[in-house]
Chains A and B, each alone.
Chain A
Amino acid sequence: GQQVMQIPQYQHVQEGEDFTTYCNSSTTLSNIQWYKQRPGGHPVFLIQLVKSGEVKKQKRLTFQFGEAKKNSSLHITATQTTDVGTYFCAGREQTGANNLFFGTGTRLTVIP
């Protein structure tokens, strides 16, 4: 079955430092989504990437989809304490399929 791994599992950064999490799938993905889950909260949709090599930005967040559509990354510039949480990538194999599988997640801690 589909496996989506993320590294690192945990990341502690000083406030103001940059942060990157990497997502790798065992199979080619039709699209990939990113979610943020605050401690004690629920996943919140951030963005979706569909095209090979696609790059999207949201303020300090930059999302990238690999050329082979098997990997993705999320980069946060100048982290803030509000960035604390677990970041999940989530992908689906088939276009239009409703079975979204979550990656293992990266838990980000920001030290003020």
Chain B
Amino acid sequence: DTEVTQTPKHLVMGMTNKKSLKCEQHMGHRAMYWYKQKAKKPPELMFVYSYEKLSINESVPSRFSPECPNSSLLNLHLHALQPEDSALYLCASSRDGGNYGYTFGSGTRLTVV
């Protein structure tokens, strides 16, 4: 299995809702990432997990809460989002150590209304 699977593919949520994005990989990768991508912009790094521990938080607002239950799963919990948080949320994984390419999932397209 050489894929990163993200669910759901599309999500519409209100500003008072709580929702979660899910990401799964079975490649034995020990580093997992969340990126946010606005239209016609590059992906922006949000969080990095290394061996199931949060190693990097790029000053992301607390309304985004990541979780890594095990080495194959990565979640992003969303609460009280703003319309400007609407974007494509990409999960990626890689072998740890910083010298490997990332495998990206197809993303969750989030719309906050």
Contacts of A97 in B (CB 8 A): 98
Are A98 and B55 interface neighbours, CB within 8 A?
yes
Q: How many B residues touch A, CB cutoff 8 Å?
A: 28
Give the residue of B40, B42, B50, B102 whose beta carbon is less than 8 angstroms from that of A45: B102
Q: Would you call B90 and A98 a contact (CB within 8 A)?
A: no
B106 within 8 A of A: yes
Q: By the criterion CB–CB under 8 Å, are A100 and B45 in contact?
A: yes
Interface residues of B in 63-113 (CB under 8 A from A): 90, 92, 94, 96-107
Is B14 positioned at the interface, with any CB of A under 8 Å from its CB? no
Cβ–Cβ contact A92 & B101, under 8 A: no
A41 at the interface (CB under 8 A from B): yes
User: A31 and B99: CB pair below 8 A?
Assistant: yes
Asked if residues A99 and B45 are in contact (CB atoms below 8 Å), the reply is yes
Which of B96, B105, B107 is A98 in contact with, Cβ under 8 Å? B96
Query: CB of B15 within 8 A of chain A?
Result: no
Are A99 and B107 CB-contacts (below 8 A) given A42-B90, A43-B43? no
A: residues with CB less than 8 A from B are 30-31, 33, 35, 41-45, 47-48, 50, 88, 92, 94-105, 107
Give me 30 A-to-B residue pairs in the complex whose CB atoms sit less than 8 angstroms apart, sorted by A's number.
Answer: A31-B98, A35-B102, A42-B90, A42-B106, A42-B107, A43-B92, A43-B104, A45-B103, A48-B99, A88-B42, A92-B98, A95-B98, A96-B97, A96-B99, A97-B98, A98-B33, A98-B48, A98-B56, A98-B94, A98-B96, A98-B98, A99-B48, A99-B56, A99-B58, A100-B102, A102-B42, A102-B43, A102-B44, A103-B42, A105-B41
> Which residues of B does A touch, CB under 8 Å?
31, 33, 40-45, 48, 50, 55-56, 58, 90, 92, 94, 96-107
